[in-house]
């Protein structure tokens, strides 16, 4: 049973560039959430996708956007990268969006912006 998979595992970009991160949810899950974890901090919620629509969004600028595909996989896009965007980006999947649906996390994508 494959868990949540994220690609790539590491990425280095330059300020001003754009980046796309990818996530495949755990088998049977239909909801994908994205979190940003800066070094030494707890994860912060970016947004959640369900039925190919953004359902909830945290306090992140419009430079952060996403997409969910019919097979439930998801992408996170960040435009006009800033140094402060350097972080571990975690994808989590669940069955539905209810609080009773626990999140299963991938190992993350480490993004470094230089």
CA angle 38, 53, 58 (to 5 degrees): 30
Asked if 55 is part of the footprint of another protein (rule: CB under 8 A), the reply reads yes
In the complex, what is the shortest distance from the CB of residue 114 to another protein, in angstroms, rounded to a whole number?
21
Asked if 103 is part of the footprint of another protein (rule: CB under 8 A), the reply reads yes
Q: How far apart are CA 7 and CA 9, in angstroms?
A: 5
Q: Which is nearer to another protein, 66 or 106 (CB)?
A: 106
Which whole-number Å values give the CA distances from 36 to 28, 42, 87, in the listed order? 24, 8, 6
Asked if 43 is part of the footprint of another protein (rule: CB under 8 A), the reply reads yes
Q: 49, 64 in Cβ contact below 8 A?
A: no
Asked if 28 is part of the footprint of another protein (rule: CB under 8 A), the reply reads no
Binding-site member from 7, 17, 18, 41 for another protein (CB under 8 A): 41
How many chain residues are in contact with another protein, going by CB under 8 A?
29
Residues 58 to 97: which contact another protein by CB under 8 A?
Answer: 58, 90, 92, 94, 97
> Positive or negative CA dihedral for 59, 74, 31, 89?
negative
- How many residues are given for the chain? 114
Give the footprint of another protein on this chain (CB under 8 A): 4, 31, 33, 35, 40-45, 48, 55-56, 58, 90, 92, 94, 97-108
């Amino acid at each position: 049973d494959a868990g949540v998979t994220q690609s790539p595992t590491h990425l280095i970009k330059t300020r001003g560039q754009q980046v796309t991160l990818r996530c495949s949810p755990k088998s049977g899950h239909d909801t994908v959430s994205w979190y940003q974890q800066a070094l030494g901090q707890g994860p912060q919620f970016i947004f959640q996708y369900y039925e190919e629509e953004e359902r909830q969004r945290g306090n992140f600028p419009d430079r952060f956007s996403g997409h969910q595909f019919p097979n439930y996989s998801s992408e996170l896009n960040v435009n006009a990268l800033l140094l402060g965007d350097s972080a571990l980006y975690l994808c989590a999947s669940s069955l539905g969006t209810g609080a009773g649906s626990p999140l299963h996390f991938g190992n993350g994508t480490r993004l470094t912006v230089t």
